[in-house]
Amino acid sequence: MKTRSAVRMVSSGIFICLLLICLAHLVFRGSGWAGFLSFVALPAIPGLLAIAALLFLLKQRLAGLAALGAAILLAVPPLGVLKGQSTSADQVPDVTILWLNARHSHVALDNIFDLDSNLQADIIAIAETPVNWRKRYSEELAKFDCIEWRHARGAPRLLVLSRTPCELASSSGDLSEYTPHRYVDLADGLRLVALHAPRPFDFSYISKTGRPWDSTRLQTRNDAIGEAAMRARQRADAVLIGDFNAVSWSPPLTELHTIGLQTVRCGPIWHSTWVDKHSGLGVPIDHVFVSASLKAICSVAPGVGSDHRPLVVRLYRADK
């Protein structure tokens, strides 16, 4: 009897602590341990619900209620961003955009060009392009009138390809090669800003300090998102797309509507754009935002050999 009471007290204590941590995530999301929970919220919710059910079956009601409460609190921020722009898929898009973080994989880039052979995207934006990209893909690159990239140790960290000529490109000199976004202005007035924001945490940092979040890296990521967003706001018709290394319910993204950028939902919120190759769990960290003059449909394409999945975005002029 004493053993059972001790187990009940320990399990209840653990899950009450978890409940308090999840409450902190809800109130203070975006910083500290609470910010780290933003990344694990979606994968953790089914697990917590299963644990709650098991605890109720074992008659550990207090621990079960705490696990259920933790799952509900983790679900609140994702549910808060369910609203997003969408339009009819029956219309012919004015512009089609294909996005992928290739993670330096030739296989991923081979597959993305195969996907484009059917899609015929007007713009392709790729992060973490593999080395020897210009020589290996010279035939594919010849199909594009505009090529914009940012160097990083022999391979472009960001590559933007357009089938229509660029009126202005970021390589014209107003951006450092280390700036985590690139942009192109097309002749029809559309600006596309592609972003690969820095990761706000690093597993080597976790192993050294025991903390999942580095406040300096977090601020660097937030600044990168803000700079890319302001670059998009310099044009009336603009698209901001990329790997934000942030979930859609984190403050740097939820605040973008205040400067006139609208969220474009890429399918249901559980559609992960990054999937861990070991656990199979994932989170949505690749996103699309558009100015009010544009409507868009976004979908998450099947995997192509990277741990990120491609985004296919179809743009429509709001006045059509």
The residue ranking higher by pLDDT, 197 or 170, is 197
Q: How far apart are CA 199 and CA 246, in angstroms?
A: 8
301 and 173 share one domain: yes
Output the domain CATH number for residue 166: 3.60.10.10
Instruction: Say if 124 falls within a structural domain.
Output: yes
Residue numbers of the domain that contains 47: 2-79
Domain stop point among 52, 79, 106: 79
The residue ranking higher by pLDDT, 247 or 91, is 247
Tens of pLDDT, residues 51-63? 788 877 877 777 7
27 and 131 share one domain: no
38 and 170 share one domain: no
Instruction: Say if 84 falls within a structural domain.
Output: no
Into how many domains does the chain fold? 2
**pLDDT band for position 27 (50/70/90)?**
very low
- Compute, in degrees rounded to 10, the torsion defined by CA atoms 250, 253, 258, 262: -130
Burial class from Cβ neighbours inside 10 Å (0-12, 13-18, 19+) for residue 79 reads exposed
Distances (CA, A) of 94 to 90, 144, 157, 241, 258: 12, 17, 28, 17, 26
Instruction: Say if 86 falls within a structural domain.
Output: no
pLDDT for residue 251: 81
pLDDT for residue 123: 95
180 and 117 share one domain: yes
Q: What percent of the chain has pLDDT over 90?
A: 29
34 and 175 share one domain: no
Instruction: Say if 85 falls within a structural domain.
Output: no
Select the highest-mean-pLDDT range: 89-103, 160-174, 200-214: 89-103
Select the highest-mean-pLDDT range: 155-164, 176-185, 252-261: 252-261
pLDDT for residue 62: 77
Contact 232, 191 (CB under 8 A): yes
Instruction: Say if 90 falls within a structural domain.
Output: no
**pLDDT band for position 25 (50/70/90)?**
very low
- pTM of the predicted protein model: 0.79
38 and 178 share one domain: no
188 and 267 share one domain: yes
106 and 168 share one domain: yes
pLDDT for residue 280: 67
The residue ranking higher by pLDDT, 40 or 267, is 267
33 and 174 share one domain: no
φ and ψ at 288, to 5 degrees? Answer: -135, 135
50 and 100 share one domain: no
Instruction: Say if 132 falls within a structural domain.
Output: yes
The residue ranking higher by pLDDT, 220 or 162, is 162
Domain stop point among 53, 79, 105: 79
222 and 295 share one domain: yes
The mean per-residue pLDDT over the stretch 226-253 comes to: 91
237 and 303 share one domain: yes
Select the highest-mean-pLDDT range: 44-48, 70-74, 278-282, 315-319: 315-319
The residue ranking higher by pLDDT, 105 or 44, is 105
Domain stop point among 23, 47, 79: 79
Instruction: Say if 88 falls within a structural domain.
Output: no
pLDDT for residue 226: 93
**87 pLDDT more than 60:** no
